[in-house]
């Protein structure tokens, strides 16, 4: 990615950040919606803009089940969201090879190790031990 594209990406990401603190999400803030990944940030690395957000999604149902689309793979598992703490049980995922440029492995790993979940407007931020995922509805 060239320097101009990186600056544009940084401006887009920062423009989407709220001026005030984000809110800790409760179950009703995330359930019944499909969240599409717009960026992935591995710890200590640059933000990666997702060119096709429909290939990386999260869907929370009321039964505390999580459905994950991770490029060409599908995952499912349990989640718990209580008092600002977020955890995902073991994810069962298909294991197709999605291509060299796929974010599949990083994305599903970060979802599986998620610890925090915050919302603001139509955005969702998921934090894990491995980095940060940013979503839109």
Evaluated on CA atoms 34, 38, 42, 43, the torsion sign reads negative
Each residue of 69-112: pLDDT tens digit?
A: 999 999 999 999 887 789 999 999 999 999 999 999 999 999 99
Q: What is the mean pLDDT of the chain?
A: 84
Q: How far apart are CA 101 and CA 126, in angstroms?
A: 22
User: If pLDDT is split at 50, 70 and 90, which confidence band does 10 have?
Assistant: very low
Q: Is the pLDDT of residue 50 over 50?
A: yes
Q: How far apart are CA 101 and CA 99, in angstroms?
A: 6
pLDDT for 11? 39
Non-local (6+) Cβ contacts of 99 within 8 A are 71, 72
- Which pTM value belongs to this model? 0.80
**126: nearest Cα among 117, 82, 135, 41:** 117
pLDDT for 85? 84
Q: Which domains does the chain have, with CATH numbers?
A: 3-136 (2.40.128.270)
């Amino acid at each position: 990615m060239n320097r101009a594209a990186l600056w544009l990406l940084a401006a887009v990401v920062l423009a989407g950040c709220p001026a005030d603190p984000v809110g800790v999400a409760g179950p009703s803030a995330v359930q019944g919606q499909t969240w599409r990944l717009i960026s992935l940030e591995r710890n200590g690395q640059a933000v990666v803009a997702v060119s096709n957000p429909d290939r990386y999604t999260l869907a929370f149902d009321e039964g505390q089940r999580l459905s994950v689309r991770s490029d060409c793979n599908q995952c499912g598992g349990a989640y718990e969201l209580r008092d600002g703490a977020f955890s995902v049980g073991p994810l069962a995922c298909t294991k197709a090879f999605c291509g060299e440029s796929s974010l599949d492995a990083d994305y599903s790993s970060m979802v599986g190790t998620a610890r925090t979940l915050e919302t603001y407007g139509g955005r969702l931020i998921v934090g894990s031990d491995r980095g940060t995922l940013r979503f839109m509805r």
